[in-house]
Structure formats: structure tokens, C-alpha cells
Amino acid sequence: MFDAPLLSEPMAIAALFCAVLGVVFWLDSVEALDPVFRYFPPVIWAYFVPMLCTTFGITPAESPVYEWMSTYLLPLSLFLLMITVDLTAILRLGPMALFMLCAGTLGIMVGGPIAFGLFSPLFEDPNAWKGFAALSGSWIGGTANMVAMKQSVGTPDSTLGPLLVVDVVVGYGWMGVLIFLSAYQAHFDDWIRADTTAMDDLNEQMENAEETRRPVTLSDFSIMIGVALAATVASQGIGAWLPEIAFGMAEPIIRTSTWTILLVVTAGLFLSFTPLQKLEDAGVGAKADLAAVLDVPFYLLAGVLWIAIHIAFLMAAAWMARAPLFFVATGSMANVGGAASAPIVAGVYLPAMAPVGLLMGVAGYILGIYAALGCSWLIGLVAMGL
């Protein structure tokens, strides 16, 4: 479409994307724009705006800066996320919250291969299964996991375009439905005779919780970046020595990049049990082209089926556990939306419970790294006709 991109120098491209992130998160802080960012969180804009830049010829589809970001910034970001995880607090959420979270995860893992298998004859792209594998990462933990899975299975950027539309339209459409249903949570709870004891106890705890966050210091920042860079480089070095594993597929499902992500996430979780976890108190898409979404109606239908299976698993789990609608909604968004969306939905149902949504969203991130690999393997087997 364009003879040459407006920007091609790596530093200029990096500067543009940093500026985009800054503007997006600044706009997120503008109160008048709350309705927009409620349904379309900053992470979505952070992916779509660079994609539009590529589509309209502002940035190139290929650049050394993209490879550098995938190689270093992605593992570094995942490490920083995991090192500040408070696993003890997540476990204190109680069995009902964790049960609903895991039921939602299982629904995504089962729904992905089924949806892909039924609609795969309609996809012209031979790499479509890799796009579904990347989407499984987003729907078990959020956008960061989508990027991690894209890197892990080698999803082409042209393949990812339609799945990004599915992620936004289906994923956040479902979020809108959950917010709408919040007005009927009492009716739902009465219908299944829900046990609200755990929810009431959590609500009381969160209402009495004290704020512990403090401004980030230069010392905090130096420790975070130094440890994260060291962990990233070490994980890459170890990952390069480990074998690629195909699990019976034509292409490896666990590559060097996959080992890097698994190692850096596991190392971050391990270090979250050390004093480094206290750093949490300090508060810590460019290659895709929209021209690749011509087949998006079929992808959307597959996405709707996928989410429907996820919902079926959640409803069955809610019926078995007599779980209130709050846990159904938050458990779902902890998977499909991750830490960006789960607190929003939780806060709509019970304002004091937004931190519970955040904890469940972080738990979804942790599950997503491991469970999405399993889901990707199953989708790959379906693609091979096994």
C-alpha cells in the first residue's frame, strides 16, 4: 500500500511506541474517558495503535527493534510481574474463588480445540492454529500471555490480526454482558441457592484493608531492572541449551523462546517468596497489519463458540459449588481479561472487592503461562488431524 514507511530508524520507532504508551495511560487517567477505558483497557490500545501505524505506513512491518522487544522486553516484563506476586494472598482467596478461576481456565482449554476443529475448514491461513494458540494465552490471563504464546509457538504477525479482533469483540463483548448481569446477581444467587459466606467475608476484609503502596524510589527501580535483566539473560542462556520438544507435532511446541518464558516466569514466582516481593508496594502490536482481517467473520464465530464453552464450564461449576455470580464473573474475567479487566468487573459487583479481582487476574496470568501451552498443544493436534 505504501512505498516506504514514514519511520524506519529503530530508535525513532521505539520512541514512537513509548510515546503511544505514555499517551494511552495518560488518557486512561482522564475521568471523562472512564467509560471508554472500562470496556477497552489501555493494553488493547497499546496493541491496536501500533498496528494502525503499520497498516497506514507510519512504521514498517519488519524492524530489528521488534525482535529486540520480543527477545528482551517480554521476558523482563513477565519476570517483574511474577516477582511481585503475593501467592499467599491469592491462596487466602479461598477454595471457591480458586475453583471458579480453574473452572474458567478448563473451559478455555477445552473450548479452544473444539472451536478450532469445527471452523478450521473455513480458514485459508495454514497457520490459523498458531493464532488460536496465541489467543488461548490472552483468554487464560490477558494480553501479556497472548504475546508470550505468540512468541512461544511462532505465530506469524499476519495470522494474529483476525485473532486480535476476536479478542476485542468477543472477549470484551462478554465483559460487557457480565457488567450488565451485575444488576441481577441477587436473582442468580437465589436461583442456585448460592453460599455467599466466603464472598461476604472477603468483602469485609477488603473494606478494612489498609493501603500499603508507596512512591517508587531510585533504589526500587534499580533493583527491579537489574534483577529482571539478569534473570532474562540467564533464562535465555539456559533455554538455548535445552532441547526443543514437539510432543508428536510437525513443529516444536516448546522452543528456545518458550523455555526462556517458562524459566523467567518460574524464577520470578520463586523469588516472590523472598524480600524482593516487597517491591510490589512501589507499584510497578506493531508488526500486525489490519489488512489481515478479511476472514474475521469465521474467526468471530469460532470465538463465540469458544467463549460459550467457557461459560458452560463456569455455570456447571457454579451450580456444583453454589458459587455466587460475583465469583462466576470474576473467575471468567480473571481468565479472559486478566489483571486489566478482572478488577473492573469485581468492582462493579462489589466495589470493595476490586482488589480480589486483581488477585484473581494475577492468578490467571500464572495459570495462563502453563495452561495456554497445554491448550496450544491440543489445538496443534487438532490442526494435524490427530
Q: Which of 16, 38, 60 is the last residue of a domain?
A: 60
Q: Residue 255: what pLDDT?
A: 72
SS3 245: strand
- Over residues 206-236, the pLDDT tens digits come to 555 445 555 556 676 677 778 888 888 888 8
Percent of the chain with pLDDT over 90: 14
**Within a 10 A sphere around the Cβ of 296, how many other Cβ atoms?**
18
Q: Are residues 49 and 92 in the same domain?
A: no
Percent of the chain with pLDDT over 70: 79
Distance CA 335, CA 328 (A): 11
- Over residues 7-19, the pLDDT tens digits come to 888 889 889 888 8
**Within a 10 A sphere around the Cβ of 190, how many other Cβ atoms?**
9
Q: Are residues 54 and 89 in the same domain?
A: no
**Per-residue confidence at 282, pLDDT binned at 50, 70, 90?**
very low
Is the CB of residue 281 less than 8 Å from the CB of residue 213?
yes
Q: Are residues 88 and 235 in the same domain?
A: yes
Q: Are residues 240 and 368 in the same domain?
A: yes
What's the whole-number mean pLDDT along residues 269-296?
A: 56
How many folded domains does the chain comprise?
A: 2
Closest CA to 255 of 371, 93, 377, 94: 377
SS3 254: strand
Q: Are residues 122 and 224 in the same domain?
A: yes
Q: Residues 34-51, buried b or exposed e (16+ Cβ, 10 A)?
A: eeebbeebbbbbbbbbbb
DSSP for 147-180 reads: HHHHHHHT--HHHHHHHHHHIIIIIHHHHHHHHH
373 to each of 8, 136, 153, 160, how far by Cα in Å?
34, 9, 9, 17
Q: Are residues 4 and 110 in the same domain?
A: no
Q: Are residues 328 and 188 in the same domain?
A: yes
Q: Are residues 323 and 369 in the same domain?
A: yes
Q: Which of 30, 60, 90 is the last residue of a domain?
A: 60
The range of the structural domain enclosing residue 49 comes to 1-60
Q: Are residues 52 and 85 in the same domain?
A: no
* pLDDT surpassing 70 at residue 372: yes
Q: Are residues 12 and 139 in the same domain?
A: no
Q: Residue 107: what pLDDT?
A: 95
**Mean pLDDT lowest among 75-89, 167-181, 343-357:** 75-89
What's the whole-number mean pLDDT along residues 361-372?
A: 81
Torsion angles phi and psi, residue 250, rounded to 5: -70, -35
Residue for grid cell 488461548: 136
Distance CA 5, CA 239 (A): 35
**Mean pLDDT (the chain, rounded):** 79
**Mean pLDDT lowest among 66-75, 154-163, 273-282, 365-374:** 273-282
Q: Are residues 68 and 30 in the same domain?
A: no
**Mean pLDDT lowest among 104-108, 117-121, 349-353:** 349-353
Q: Which of 29, 60, 91 is the last residue of a domain?
A: 60
Distance CA 166, CA 282 (A): 34
Q: Are residues 179 and 321 in the same domain?
A: yes
Q: Which of 4-8, 12-16, 194-198 has the highest mean pLDDT?
A: 12-16
